[in-house]
Amino acid sequence: MSDADVVALLLVRVVLGGVMIAHGVNHWRGGGRIEGTARWLGGLGLRHGTLQAWLSVLTEVGAGVLLVAGLLTSLACAAVISVMLVAGVLAHRPNGFFVFKDGYEYVLTLAVVALALAVLGPGRLSLDHAGDIEVTGWAGGGIALGVAVGATAGLLAVFWRPRPTTDTPQPTTDTPEGATDAPEGTPDTEGPAETDDSDDPPVTEPAEQEAR
pLDDT of 82 reads 98
Per-residue b or e along 169-186, where b marks 16 or more CB atoms closer than 10 Å to that residue's CB: eeeeeeeeeeeeeeeeee
CA-to-CA separations, 211 to 203, 206, 208, in angstroms, rounded: 15, 9, 5
pLDDT of 212 reads 42
Global model pTM greater than 0.85: no
pLDDT of 137 reads 97
**118-149 per-position pLDDT tens digit:** 999 999 999 999 999 999 999 999 999 999 99
Asked whether the predicted pLDDT for residue 5 surpasses 60, the reply is: yes
Asked whether the predicted pLDDT for residue 151 surpasses 90, the reply is: yes
Q: Provide mean pLDDT across the span 55-79.
A: 98
Residue 82, φ and ψ in degrees, nearest 5:
-65, -45
**29-65 per-position pLDDT tens digit:** 987 899 999 999 999 999 999 999 999 999 999 999 9
More confident residue, 194 or 131: 131
pLDDT of 1 reads 82
